[in-house]
Amino acid sequence: MSGKKINEITVLAPATVANVVCGFDILGFALDGLFDKMLIRKTSKKGVTIINKDDYNLPTQPSKNVIGAALLALLKAVPEEIGFIVESTKIIKPGSGIGSSAASAAGAVVGANHLLNNRFTKEQLVEFALCGEEVASGSKHADNIAPCIYGGITLIRSASPLDIIQIPSPKLYVTILHPQIEVKTSDAREILKKQILLKDAIIQWGNIAGLIAGLMKSDYDLIGRSLMDVIVEPVRSILIPHFDEVKTKSMAAGALGGGISGSGPSVFFLSKNEKTAKTVEKVITDVYKNIGINFHTHITTISKQGVKFI
C-alpha cells in the first residue's frame, strides 16, 4: 500500500482485557484472534456515515455511536473537507467486557489515519478514540483503547496529560470465560467505592509495581503473586455468577492468576503454557455447565500488534 494513494481500507481491531486485576483503569492488553472488522472509505463530503453489517442494532447517528464519536473528534483536527463511511461488522459482543467499544473506536481512527497518510501519532489516535469510549461508558478511560492501538500490554501512567507506556512481557496464554449475560460498564463503575483505605491502597500499589516488574523480568512467579486486587474485584465480583468458584478452581488448575476483564462479565486467567490454559478452560467449563448459564470460552495469547490492516 505504500506510495499509493488509497481511499478505503479494511481493518481488524482486537479485543482487549482491561484492568488486569490490580491495574484498574491503567493496565490493559490486546488479545490475539478476536477482532472486529471495519471497511472505512474516505469521501469528499464532511461528516461520518455508519453502516452496521451485524445484528446488534447499534445507533447509526454518529454522535451516539462509538465509531462516529471517535471519527468526529478526529475530523475536528482535519482542515480538509473530507468525511468517512464506515461499514462495521462487530464480532466482539457489546457489553462482553473484552473491549468491544474500544475496538470500534480504535479501529475507526487507526483506519482513518491510514487514509490520511498517518498524519496523527498513536497518542493522538488514543485521544480521538477516547471520545468514542465516553459514548459507550460515560468516561474516557484508555486501558482498552491503548492496547488496541499500540498492541501488547500498555500502562496508562497518566490520563491527563496522556502518557502511555508499552510493557514488554513473556509469552502468556489467556483463557477467557464469557458468560452470556450483560454487565454495563457505567453500572459496574457506579457500584465502586468512592473512598478506599490507605492500607488497601498500599497493598494495591505493591501489586501493580510487582506485576509490571514481573512482566518486564519474565518472572512468572512474581506475575502470579502480583495478580491480586483488594479494591475493585471484591465489589464487582458479585456481578459475575460463581466468580469465586471459577477463580479458586482455575488457580488450583495452575493459572498464574486472573480476574474480571474490564467491568465484566468476561473473566480471564493467565497461564505460563497452553496445556495449563486448556486445563483452566476445562475447569471453568465444568463449573458453568452446572449452573445453567450459557457461556463461551476462548484460549488465546497476548497480541503484540494492535489494529491491523487486511
Catalytic residues: 133, 185
Identity (one letter) of the amino acid at 82?
I
What 3 state SS string does 137-160 have?
Answer: HCCCCCCCHHHHHHCCEEEEEEEC
Whether the link from the prior residue into 161 is cis, omega within 30° of 0, is yes
- The DSSP output letter for 197 is -
Question: Percent helix, strand and coil across the chain, each rounded to 5?
Answer: 40, 25, 35
- Identify the three-state secondary structure at position 83: strand
263: nearest Cα among 224, 236, 300, 226: 236
How far is CA 38 from each of CA 54, 103, 114, 169, 181, rounded to the nearest angstrom? Answer: 11, 10, 13, 29, 25
Work out the burial of residue 221: count CB atoms within 10 Å of its CB; fewer than 13 is exposed, 13-18 middle, 19 or more buried: exposed
DSSP state of 302: B
71-107 in b/e form (b: 16+ CB < 10 A) is bbbbbeeeeeebbbbbbbebebbbbbbbbbbbbbbbb
Rounded-to-integer distance, Cα 93 and Cα 19, Å: 19
